[in-house]
A and B are shown apart, each in its own frame.
Chain A
């Protein structure tokens, strides 16, 4: 547990260092940058297909990203809860007093 917390703290540190050392950038996503790099190499290249649907704006996009993270986090939380509970039960049953467990 202690080790995990330390590791999580390290992750937070890794993510915050750039915020401190790299002043004056917006930390934009790669997409625009990738386009620039490609048009530099092949100026005549035209994308031949567009996304079927794009989030109308930054707000909707952040909603969907948050949703994606929430689905992941929700399941991980559920998983942790279930496994810990199951462990508690098996530990209780070991002493041989198989109490009637109501579900």
Chain B
């Protein structure tokens, strides 16, 4: 944990010297050409169906985990409502999908994340319905999968539970916006330099803004996980998040 703190401090200091205006949010309504909008919807749909099934079977297996599922959803809800100022001089918000991915697996979060995105698209004009497929793919499919595999990998390496959770949530958050950059670059390749030029432009903008927020999300996810470890050890074991011998 000490190591994590030092890393955080290092990043903060590093970022103080890299000021630049930027943005990072979901893709806006109507800002994806129609063929791309349809394409990303088609890519995302299977994940939603699998996710729904995965949730259904997990809840049926362990009904007592229902509350944890609600918590995962609530965590996404609150975090994606917080527009946090970033070092680049603009604001963005964390995603909150890391927590649920570690608890229920990445598939379950595709549904939870999409519900939150739908809420924001319809009520807040934030993101959009035509771009929901693409936004869900980045925030509710890729983000959770990255978080899940980072968590598994860090656990395999024998790193501490807290540090694994921190890395998973932080990289899931960062990965979401990298995918968004890829999607935008695919839809809007530059005249000069094509996809790569566009991608470096979007990613330079997105990733930079998101770095401190990814760290924040990692820290917050660790806070929630520590609470769960203290009070909900039974459920964590049911969901196979913690092995039996885990401290």
Contact = CB atoms under 8 A, between A and B. Distances in A.
Contact of B85 (A6, A7, A18): A18
A24 B173 CA distance: 27
A14 B212 contact: yes
Contact of A17 (B16, B124, B205): B16
Interface residues of B, number: 74
A103 to B, nearest CB: 17
Given A11-B216, A51-B29, A25 B12 contact: no
A51 B120 CA distance: 11
A35 B183 CA distance: 14
Contacts, number: 194
Given A51-B125, A75-B74, A30 B90 contact: yes
Contacts of B216: 11, 14-15
B30 A47 contact: yes
B8 interface: yes
B68 to A, nearest CB: 8
Interface of B: 1, 5, 8, 12, 16, 19, 21-25, 27-31, 33-34, 67, 70-71, 73-92, 119-126, 128-130, 184, 188-191, 198, 201-202, 205, 209, 212, 215-216, 219-220, 222-224, 226-227, 231-232
Q: 5 closest A-B pairs (Cβ-Cβ)? A: A72-B78, A30-B23, A47-B30, A33-B23, A72-B77
Given A8-B220, A18-B86, 17 more contacts: A27-B89, A27-B90, A28-B23, A33-B22, A34-B27, A45-B31, A45-B33, A52-B122, A66-B81, A71-B78, A72-B74, A72-B77, A73-B74, A75-B77, A76-B78, A79-B71, A86-B231
22 contacts: A8-B223, A14-B215, A15-B216, A18-B89, A27-B83, A27-B85, A31-B28, A33-B21, A37-B205, A38-B184, A38-B188, A47-B28, A51-B29, A54-B125, A66-B81, A68-B78, A68-B120, A68-B124, A71-B77, A72-B78, A75-B71, A86-B231
